[in-house]
Amino acid sequence: MDEMEELGRLWAKIPEATERDLAGSRAALVSRFDRPRPRWRTSLPIRRVALVGAMAVTLTAGILVTEVGLGGSGPHTPGYLLAAPPADAKALLNLAAQAAADQPDTVPARGQYVHTKRLAQRSLYTEDESGRTQYAKVLVNEERWEAADVGKPWLSREQGLSATGPAPRYLWDHGSEDIVYEPAACPGQPAYARLSAWPTDPAQVRAKIVADTGEEPLRIWSSLQGLVAESVVRPSLGAALYQVAAGLDGIVLIPDAVDAAGRPGLAVAMDEGNGTRSELIFDRRTYRYLGERTVNTRDRKVKTPSGGEHTEKKGAVNGTAVLAVDLVPGLPEVSPKASRMKIPC
């Protein structure tokens, strides 16, 4: 018997799919985009034919929804996951601005602390007894508790986790080190308090930065880097900062960046003019800010603490990855050996 004739007889026995059938099939189709595709079986039980038939009816509509959604889909939707990667740095920053605008700002209540956790890659230079420079690339866990209220102490905690290079362990592994920042005569404001006064209109943000730095793109970029790192507590400002960065001359797209935590991402970069390239790194799927890094674009000489020089190779990286930002009711227990400094004004 002809296979097409047999298939026609089979479909003739299947009742037409109702709107209820189609609704369930649409949900099943969409859910498949968020989990691994199962292996196809070599045979399909007859009791599942009706479901497959309904999915076939809705497939065209599903494709149309996907195609329409490519321009501005949110995370975890089919259109978002099928969208082509951004074509250039400006496109990436615009996507990052949209992602940041969708995030709520962190607004601590009185008495609360903003707790930020980061992972940093740092270069360590020291010299042995014979005067030879010893170098290591150190991975450091960084935590900061910043008071919501002006006039309250802050806490910074660091711990070396690992290192590569000849520098001996005792030079970087000091256990957990605390620095308590005590209120000064001219109390410095917490990052969120400083940034809360900033506008979120990109033109106004740019004007505010230019008033401090001038119009030179590299100086604006350097200011943006610091502000972006602080604005993890205020994504609404981050969105404006990304739009300002999108208008700078000299920015380029780096399609294969990796942050200090090993997370792959896309980066927007600018040549610093001194043999380094500084980057802002964003998640490949959500376009959320992951962190920053500086990459050597050539071998370059760097000064050691003793005044000597060391050659850092092309491709050497320093950077910081943001792991978490949350609110806590107070400071953790502080080490009795903690260093104490004044909060900068």
Q: In this predicted model, what pLDDT tens digit does every residue of 209-237 receive, in sequence order?
A: 999 999 999 999 999 999 999 888 899 99
pTM reported for the whole predicted model: 0.73
Q: Residue 191 has what pLDDT?
A: 67
Q: Which of 294, 253, 301, 313 is nearest to 96 (CA)?
A: 253
- With 0-12 / 13-18 / 19 or more C-beta atoms within 10 angstroms meaning exposed / middle / buried, residue 7 is exposed
One pLDDT digit (tens) per residue for the chain, 345 residues: 444 444 344 444 444 444 444 444 444 433 443 444 333 333 333 333 333 333 333 333 332 232 222 233 344 433 344 457 899 999 999 999 999 999 998 888 888 999 999 999 998 887 777 777 778 889 999 999 988 888 888 899 999 999 888 778 887 888 899 999 888 766 666 666 778 889 999 999 999 999 999 999 999 999 999 999 988 889 999 999 999 999 999 999 999 999 999 999 999 999 999 999 999 999 999 999 999 999 999 999 888 777 778 888 999 999 999 999 999 999 999 999 999 988 766
Contacts 24+ apart (CB under 8 A), 308-316: 308/127, 308/131, 308/133, 310/125, 310/133, 310/135, 312/123, 316/123, 316/137
> DSSP letter at 300?
E
Structure tokens at 63: 């494709």
First to last CA, the chain: 88
Backbone angles phi, psi at 212, to 5 degrees: -95, -30
* Whole-number pLDDT of residue 147: 86
* Strand, helix or coil for residue 180: strand
For 161, the enclosing helix (H) or strand (E) is strand 154-164
